[in-house]
Structure 1
């Protein structure tokens, strides 16, 4: 296990100039650091085994797991960055790192497999599988919107806690705002009580929202009449680098109903992709909503002129824009023409007027919920 703690790793990046000082982030990192040291002390606690434990008069039981940590704050507060630092430093503490949506997909799949195998308690069996690789489970962006997740989440997490899980999670919302206005929310409320009881809930105080400041300095719509124009590609590469906020760029696969979609360029809660990848695939409304729940924003490259020969692609693009708009997400795009000239067909002419209106708002970053 590394001798570096989360706080010392954070301070080293400040000293190198990789990060800028931020009081809210620094305070959040102190809480992560305290949890790290509590986990380390528990792991290092000497335990008697064999005859020594049998004959010992002063048997010391294994220490109970420490309280977990729930960090919440608005978009652009650096939650993913903080979680990245904690996850890297705590690898020796049997930690696992997930995006919350991906974890719940794994959980639902494991529960379904356990049911098909005839297990007496499929949720408990799934919990055994999920915790087997590490009892310190780190989530980025806890956000419950799916009723299927909301209805099983408490039973699943109670089972995980019973098995020794320590939960570390970030979210854009306070615990009491999770699954707000969701169907049968009264059945979800006990889980909120569990979070408040079992986790140390901390707000990342407001500070300089570097993402909001940056987005307000760039255009959301980049004209690229020639798809081979490398100047626009280079400009979008730089925008993605800035939006990544020093977060590592990785590949990620999202699993939808019966299909999967791979993204090659993901940095925290921002994805860099292209039109064909999102709109030439057989995706539906719920898939785009899940995508909008996963990412705070995206860079979408190479949007073509849409007409009746691309009816399906145009419809999926409308669904994508609606999902991003409804969730208050941002999009930075490159296209061959201006927004008002994007659709030249008849099939979706009426519906596309609303899409154009939303695109024009999004290109000016209006309606973006920076506090989510």
Structure 2
């Protein structure tokens, strides 16, 4: 029995040289976990190939969410910041599941009891999405010693750069020695540059993902580019929390930026909202100097093409629709009032500017249909702490 899917009659958003995205009427054939072929009017190669009619639908590369977490708001700090202590293990599990994203960097702030990490990993794996699970050392870090040798630890979330140098150095070295693939950290306004501190400690590397970084300057940009390190930009939470303008289209940082969502209890969890906010905030920043002089700008600097690539992250294995790439795809309906006319005029703009979560029709990850017609498929739950050790309050 073959594992193959043929998506017929849809409009594909294809990346071409120079990061140019063009809508093309074509049929992608998925075999196993890869895009086997993209062509016009393809026929099903096997009797058991699942054929999906994508008429009046747009097929996009899957979206990468560079940051997924629960961040504190100012009024929230004294009353709600410790609410995580009151969540049981079942809460942790269901709080992780989401829709419309095929790749996520998950900041696991809920590691209060040791078992919560098991449920967090279970929820991250259950929908079949690609994910980095960032084990966050909480305020109980020193007493609980959460970093023990564990093959399930792939990332570490850490913000304690104000600790003594040797503590920071030892922790980074230990994480890397154990094979932690990426280390995520916040960087906002403050009396020091976390990036320059890490550089002075000899710790800055390509495995560091810096959330926000609105206070970063030109020197920080040079450091990050030198080490091939990246920034996670979360426009809505950054503008709300007054930590500075998003860097997604900043001249110094646009080439090393990705997009994320951050706090799901504060804003919607879809990538299109963040794409629109990043785009429009960049346009406002670009236009303001002209408006201050009484001049109307003749053109826009930040374009839909750029923000679409930010949301999908065109890489070697994922992020675009091409033969040989991993089959991570999102299919949008175009018949809702918000989409119907935009999709006919410009499918790329329709995806970047107009949809809501109701317009998701299908999500394919690794060649498997994970969501179709608002239902999850192939979602298998790991053995979790909820069942093995019981709920903890």
Same fold per TM (> 0.5)?
no
Question: Which fold has the larger relative contact order, with Cα–Cα distance below 8 Å and residues 6 or more apart in sequence?
Answer: 2
For the pair shown, the structure with the greater C-alpha radius of gyration is: 1
**Which interval holds the TM-score relative to the shorter structure?**
under 0.3
Which of the pair is proportionally richer in strand? 2
TM-score (norm 2): 0.24
TM-score (norm 1): 0.25
Which of the pair is proportionally richer in helix? 1
